[in-house]
């Protein structure tokens, strides 16, 4: 409750500034290590920090007066370049550390060309990461953001107490989320793009809700965890699809004939991800669950006096109407 009270006393701009400062600090700390390419986990941390920074800047953009070099187009490019290298790390690790130890020697040997190609593509992707981190665009953008953090500029909205605007800041968080076609998909292979778009939105919603968590208490924590679990299941399912395609490209013949054990493992892992994803959909999508989420987003806000009484009435009305 102490953290909630402290945060609720901040302006929207200062609240956003603290979030941005944490992400920028993380990026600066990781820059040299990621450029060296020695630790794949550090690249993962940098990718998350970059994605969180982009999400935060977009979320609080109406309250901030940001430098010209800090714009969504540039941030999107940086996120993509880091993501490409990270995706290749995941594929290699899944194959080399996850599946290879479970395979007979003849299948492990047949996969050497696949691993060689993944390593080659990873080296190329890392070169692109270094290119971004050393580019004038990145260095100027990061430098301007660091200077802005020392002397931040806010709009009139950003100067106002965040406690009075939480509903508005969270207003766009879930917009269109449950109307994504991916929730209704029953045959995964036929609608991959819908599932990937839903995964992207689940990641973004998780970050948006986490940004506001100090103001909303524990009510939204279970939903953040569910959304994260959903994006992890969809991400793993897609990684397995991509890995299967990469193996097909490098190994002649049908996998069930040339690599039967690996083919079985791929199918079983995909089935596991899909079945658990559908269980999560059945848990989250019903009307009563979506109503509980709307209630959770409102329930931890505690304005005083008459406004509190009105808010309680509004919450009850929304819950009754569904």
Report, as an integer, the average pLDDT of 66-79. Answer: 92
Nearest by Cα to 160 from 6, 9, 2: 9
Q: In the structure, what pLDDT confidence band is assigned to residue 303 with cuts at 50, 70 and 90?
A: very low
- pLDDT of the residue at 204: 93
Q: Judge whether residue 222 has pLDDT over 80.
A: yes
pLDDT in tens, 119-158: 999 999 999 999 999 999 999 999 999 999 999 999 999 9
Report, as an integer, the average pLDDT of 223-233. Answer: 96
- 1-161 has CATH 2.40.40.20 classification: no
Task: Give me the chain's average pLDDT, please.
Answer: 88
pLDDT in tens, 81-112: 999 999 999 999 999 999 999 999 999 999 99
Q: Of 259 and 298, which is predicted with more confidence?
A: 259
Q: Are the C-beta atoms of 206 and 196 separated by less than 8 Å?
A: no
Distance CA 170, CA 167 (A): 5
Q: What is the dihedral of CA 72, 76, 82, 84, to 10 degrees?
A: 180
pLDDT in tens, 169-185: 887 677 889 999 999 99
């Amino acid at each position: 409750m102490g953290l909630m009270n402290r945060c609720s006393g901040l302006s929207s701009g200062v609240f956003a500034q603290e979030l941005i400062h944490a992400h920028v600090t993380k990026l600066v700390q990781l820059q040299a290590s990621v450029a060296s390419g020695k630790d794949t986990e550090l690249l993962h941390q940098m990718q998350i920090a970059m994605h969180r920074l982009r999400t935060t800047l977009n979320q609080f953009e109406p309250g901030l007066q940001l430098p010209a070099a800090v714009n969504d187009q540039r941030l999107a490019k940086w996120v993509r370049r880091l993501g490409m290298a990270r995706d290749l790390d995941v594929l290699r690790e899944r194959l080399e550390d996850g599946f290879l130890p479970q395979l007979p020697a003849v299948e492990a040997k047949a996969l050497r060309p696949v691993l060689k190609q993944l390593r080659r593509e990873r080296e190329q992707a890392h070169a692109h990461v270094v290119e971004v981190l050393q580019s004038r665009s990145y260095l100027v953008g990061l430098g301007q953001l660091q200077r802005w953090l020392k002397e931040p500029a806010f709009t009139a909205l950003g100067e106002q107490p965040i406690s009075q605007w939480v509903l508005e800041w969270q207003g766009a968080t879930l917009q269109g989320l449950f109307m994504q076609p991916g929730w209704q998909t029953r045959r995964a292979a036929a609608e991959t793009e819908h599932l990937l778009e839903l995964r992207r939105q689940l990641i973004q919603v998780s970050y948006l809700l986490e940004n506001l968590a100090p103001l909303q208490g524990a009510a939204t924590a279970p939903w953040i965890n569910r959304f994260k679990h959903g994006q992890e299941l969809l991400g793993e399912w897609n990684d397995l699809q991509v890995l299967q395609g990469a193996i097909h490209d490098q190994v002649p013949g049908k996998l069930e004939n040339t690599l039967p054990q690996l083919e079985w493992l791929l199918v079983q892992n995909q089935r596991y991800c899909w079945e658990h994803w559908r269980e999560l959909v059945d848990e989250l999508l019903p009307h009563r669950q979506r109503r509980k989420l709307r209630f959770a987003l409102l329930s931890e806000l505690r304005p005083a006096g008459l406004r509190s009484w009105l808010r309680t009435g509004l919450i009850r009305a929304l819950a009754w109407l569904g």
